[in-house]
Chain A
Amino acid sequence: MKNPVSIDWEARCRELYEESVASLDVRTRARLTEARHAALEAAGVRAHAGARRTVPRWSWAVAGVAAALLIAVVLRIATPLGGSSAGTGGDVPRSEDAALVASTSPADDSVEMMREDADFYAWAAGVSAPADDRQAE
Chain B
Amino acid sequence: MAAFDTLAPTWVASEGLATGDEGAVLDHARQLDRFLADVERRAFRIAQIALRDVDDALDAVQEAMTKLAARYAARPAAEWRPLFHRILENTIHDVQRRRAIRRRVMAWAPPWRQHADDPPEEDPAELAADPSPHGVERAMRTQALERLEASLRALPARQRQAFLLRNFEGLDVAETAAAMACSEGSVKTHYSRAVHALRARLGEVW
Binding site for B on A (CB under 8 A): 5-6, 9-10, 13-14, 16-17, 19-21, 24, 28-29, 31-33, 35-40, 42-53
Contacts and interface: CB of A to CB of B under 8 A. Distances in A.
Interface stretch (B66-74, B98-106, B113-121, B180-188): B66-74
Contact of B66 (A14, A31, A43, A51): A43
Given A5-B204, A14-B168, A20-B145, 14 more contacts: A6-B195, A10-B167, A10-B195, A17-B167, A32-B41, A36-B40, A39-B36, A39-B69, A40-B33, A44-B9, A44-B10, A45-B29, A47-B2, A48-B5
B8 interface: yes
B61 interface: yes
27 contacts: A9-B195, A14-B167, A14-B168, A14-B170, A16-B144, A16-B148, A17-B45, A20-B145, A24-B45, A28-B44, A28-B58, A38-B66, A39-B65, A43-B8, A43-B70, A43-B73, A44-B8, A44-B10, A45-B4, A45-B11, A45-B33, A46-B4, A46-B5, A47-B4, A47-B33, A50-B3, A53-B5
Given A20-B45, A45-B11, A40 B69 contact: yes
A38 B62 contact: yes
Contacts of B170: 14
A19 B141 contact: yes
B32 interface: yes
Given A16-B141, A48-B5, A36 B37 contact: yes
Dominant SS among interface residues on chain B: helix
Dominant SS among interface residues on chain A: helix
Contacts of A40: 32-33, 36, 65, 69
B6 A44 contact: yes
B58 A32 contact: yes
Given A29-B41, A35-B40, A44-B6, A9 B199 contact: yes
A45 B25 CA distance: 11
B3 A53 contact: yes
B199 A45 contact: no
B1 A52 contact: yes
A61 to B, nearest CB: 17
